[in-house]
Chain A
Amino acid sequence: MTLQSLNRFFFYKLYSVVVSARTYADFTPQATFDIKKCDLHKLEEGPPLQAVLSREEGLQYYRTMQTMRRMELKADQLYKQKIIRGFCHLYDGQEACAVGIEAGINLSDHLITAYRAHGYTLTRGGTVREIMAELTGRRGGIAKGKGGSMHMYTKHFYGGNGIVGAQVPLGAGVALACKYLGKNELCVCLYGDGAANQGQIFETYNMASLWKLPCIFICENNKYGMGTSVERAAASTDYYKRGDFIPGLRVDGMDVLCVREATKLAAEHCRSGKGPILMELQTYRYHGHSMSDPGVSYRTRDEIQEVRSKSDPISMLKDRMLSNNMASVEELKEIDVEVRKEIEDAAQFATTDPEPPLDDLCNHIFYNDPPMEVRGTNPWTKLKSVS
């Protein structure tokens, strides 16, 4: 390198340092955004048509959604490398739902969902590391490798449930406990458009309504129950009305602010003792139903591409923030870099952490019980089980 080019190098370096040293006082601290009007069912008033977003909130939502996105894409990669096996239902495209919901409730509230649960495990307090290590079946996984993709739990997060629809009565039961114990907590109870036709959900609507349980039922309508489009599965695709006597609202599930405002309204409804409420989030999943479904036999690539380009939740938030000077391109890029690193580290951990010890095989059958013997595969094999 010549002295001249060295000088030029340092000059530009200095210049770029100066440029990115814009103070945060330059950014808009908060802005108001128009959000889509929600269709209402037996509700007098919907959420406001405008949402206020602060810079901090925006950055936090962006970071969380990006983390979720990258985590799911990494899971896709690991699955194709056969490091993750079995079922793997990915959430990319639906990030605004999980992040928006959490923004409308507290961590002291409760939440339960079905098997597309990695995103919620994150918003409910799980780390990327323990989620990924659970997917790869290692001892550092959030369920010590014994649950897998569909059975992850954290405090006030009841999974991760594999049987379609079964989580809905469970969620109402959690809400019953909330009411019983009088702690002003509520339960968010999620299910998909496929599950929405399950009988036990209607049984649950009935009891939740009768007993005024503080339960927010949320239908994540991503338009396809596995490979069956909503038109082919449901006589009525107005999922927000299916609760009949339960007030409902239909929400743009690709807009994190819309989801947040709707959730706040729903939470207020529950906490004021009015009983359950139902939200339908119109959303979309980029991946197929699971990793074994390419996702293009029942929908066109054009459709997927259209949603990606026009309605991507992360892009939407990013555009809003940039066009309102709430963040800089570099700042968001930096978050992207940090997120990528976090995911890489987590993936590294998830692929190198050892599998659970064989000693753990028979543990966790019963809680708070003395150690017992479990029959192995043959009569001479007696395995030990502790609580």
Chain B
Amino acid sequence: MASLRCFLRSGKNAVTAVLRREFHGTPPAAVQYIGVTVRDALNQAMDEELERDERVFLLGEEVAQYDGAYKVSRGLWKKYGDKRIIDTPITEMGFAGIAVGAAMAGLRPICEFMTFNFSMQAIDQVINSAAKTYYMSAGLQSVPIVFRGPNGSSAGVAAQHSQCFAAWYGHCPGLKVVSPWSAEDARGLLKSAIRDDNPVVFLENELMYGVPFEMSEEVQSKDFLIPIGKAKIERQGNHITLVSHSRMISLCLDAAAVLAKEGIECEVINMRTIRPLDAEAIETSIMKTNHLVTVEGGWPQFGIGAEILARIMEGPAFNYLDAPAVRVTGVDIPMPYAKNLEDNSIPQIKDIIFSVKKTLNV
């Protein structure tokens, strides 16, 4: 039985985290585990893919000479130069369109948005130029592009810099939307995204960048890929299913650890991909646990949880529910600045515990 602990403290100063240990049965004798932060995992994934395929290149604000606004692209410009790592002016609509055009003409761009909040300026290019083109052209024109950057709330950056776009992008056919949590997720999913011949929206999280995770040798290999569209069970449990993505997985695991002391075993599912949604994984779990709580950082209306609940209602797992499925979400307000207000605007561990107990009627 796997036992996992991960503690995350948000905030700009020291991020203290306990290394996550994961045991798949008996580990082979000489397995090399190394601690890798999400940031480094993303960096290495891009580095390897840039090396592997000449057509891959990165563009965005401050990605080259500044080493990346969040240092995710550190060292890449020095290694690959101006042709492959391109600093853009602060013109999202323009450079996102340029990236899409380059993808149409045979290159494989990685278009970085400094945060996905700024992608709103360019959202027409993501949806109308990238996502829909393969369909509109009936297969004549593909668009192999990755849009990546931090998504969702950070710490103290207030309303215009804290929105979660998972539901907005997850709404649109023609896009794949991916939301990694761990370093392994980041690595495997980014590689898959870059190798995918379709537009992929890759939602990172700023608060996760500095969090280290243990990475096995297998995960460190250059061709380690995580398939897009498949969820992962991070923690097995029998009593209730928690479904989440990105940073909220950490909170779910923390809540699960607390609940375990009271004899409640949560099954924590890491969605990994928002679109296409792995409904089957969630259904299989519900058929075992009979209870569902979804957890997300974004707003409730028309959100990730709303979609999951609707699908469960419409699918075979409904009959296995012993209680209505519920959602734990961010509060339905623009993000405030003051720390106490901000802390109370997004799910906390106690909110998850509360919802689990309410659902289980304990």
* Contact partners of B93 in chain A: CB under 8 A: 169, 199-200, 203
Known: A166-B128, A177-B107. A206 touches B136 (CB 8 A): no
Contact assessment for A180 and B57 in the assembled complex, using a CB-CB cutoff below 8 Å: yes
Does A54 lie at the interface of the complex (its beta carbon under 8 Å from any beta carbon of B)? no
Q: A143-B136, A364-B138, A365-B173 are in contact. Are A177 and B101 (CB under 8 A)?
A: yes
Question: Which chain A residues numbered 103 to 162 have a C-beta less than 8 Å away from chain B?
Answer: 110, 112, 143-147, 151, 153-154, 158-159, 161-162
**Those of B279-310 within 8 Å (CB) of chain A:** none
Inter-chain CA distance A177–B100, complex, in Å, is: 10
Give the docked Cα–Cα distance between A379 and B107 (Å). 38
- The number of residues on chain B lying at the interface, defined by a beta carbon within 8 Å of a beta carbon of chain A, is 44
CB distance from A120 to the nearest CB of B (A): 15
B179 within 8 A of A: no
Q: How far is it, in angstroms, between the C-alpha of A147 and the C-alpha of B134 when the chains are bound?
A: 10
Task: State whether the Cβ of A163 lies closer than 8 Å to any Cβ in chain B.
Answer: yes
- 1/0 contact string of B90-110 vs chain A (CB within 8 Å): 010111111111111111000
A181 at the interface (CB under 8 A from B): yes
Q: Is A173 an interface residue (CB 8 A)?
A: yes
CB distance from B99 to the nearest CB of A (A): 6
B114 to chain A, nearest CB (A): 16
Cβ of A332 < 8 Å from any Cβ of B?
A: no
B83 interface residue per 8 A CB criterion: yes
**Distance to closest chain A CB from B191 (angstroms):** 16
From B98, B133, B141, B197, name the one whose CB has the most chain A CB atoms within 10 angstroms.
B98
Residues in B neighbouring A266, C-beta threshold 8 A: none
Contacts of A158 in B (CB 8 A): 101, 104-105, 141
Answer yes or no: A296 CB below 8 A from chain B CBs: no
Minimum C-beta distance from A145 to chain B (A)? 8
B218 CB-CB contact with A under 8 Å: no
In the assembled complex, how far is the CB of residue A73 from the closest CB belonging to chain B, in whole angstroms? 26
B89 lies within 8 A of A203 (CB): yes
Contact yes or no, B101 A180, CB < 8 A: no
A201-254 interface (Cβ within 8 A of B): 203-204, 206-207, 210-211
In the complex, A369→B276 CA distance in Å? 12
Decide if A363 is an interface residue (CB 8 Å cutoff): yes
> With A166-B97, A206-B94 given, is the CB distance from A173 to B102 under 8 Å?
yes
Tell me the smallest distance from the CB of A192 to a CB of chain B, in Å.
17
Q: Does A329 contact B (CB under 8 A)?
A: no
Q: Complex: how many Å from CA A364 to CA B95?
A: 26
Q: Does B348 contact A (CB under 8 A)?
A: no
- Residue of B57, B93, B101, B139 contacting most chain A CB atoms (<10 Å): B101
Q: Is A366 an interface residue (CB 8 A)?
A: yes
Q: For B128, list chain A residues within 8 Å (CB).
A: 162-163, 166
List the B side residues contacting A360 at CB < 8 Å: 138
A368 at interface, CB cutoff 8 A = yes
A157 to chain B, nearest CB (A): 9
- What residues on A are CB-neighbors of B315 within 8 Å? 379
Cβ–Cβ contact A178 & B105, under 8 A:
yes
Q: Is the CB of B134 within 8 A of A169?
A: no
Asked if B101 and A172 make an inter-chain contact with CB atoms under 8 angstroms apart, the answer reads yes
Contact B136 A207 (CB under 8 A): no
Q: Which residues of B contact A204 (CB under 8 A)?
A: 94, 97-98
Task: Report the bound CA distance from A372 to B99 in whole Å.
Answer: 27
Chain A min CB distance to B178 (Å):
14
CA of A206 to CA of B105 in the docked complex: distance in angstroms?
21
B124 close to chain A: CB less than 8 A = yes
Q: Closest approach, in angstroms, between the C-beta of B256 and any C-beta of chain A?
A: 31
Name the contact of A367 in the complex, choosing from B98, B99, B198 (C-beta under 8 A): B198
Query: How far is the CB of A204 from the nearest CB of chain B, in Å?
Result: 5
Contacts A172-B98, A180-B57, A181-B106 given; 17 further ones with Cβ under 8 A?
Answer: A144-B138, A158-B101, A158-B105, A172-B97, A172-B101, A173-B103, A176-B107, A177-B101, A177-B107, A180-B102, A199-B93, A206-B89, A363-B138, A365-B134, A365-B135, A366-B197, A369-B197
- Report the 6 A-B pairs with minimum CB-CB distance, sorted nearest first: A173-B101, A169-B97, A203-B94, A177-B105, A379-B314, A170-B101
Write the residues of chain B forming the contact surface with A, with a CB cutoff of 8 angstroms.
57, 83, 86, 88-89, 91, 93-107, 124-125, 128-129, 133-142, 144, 173-174, 176, 197-198, 276, 314-315
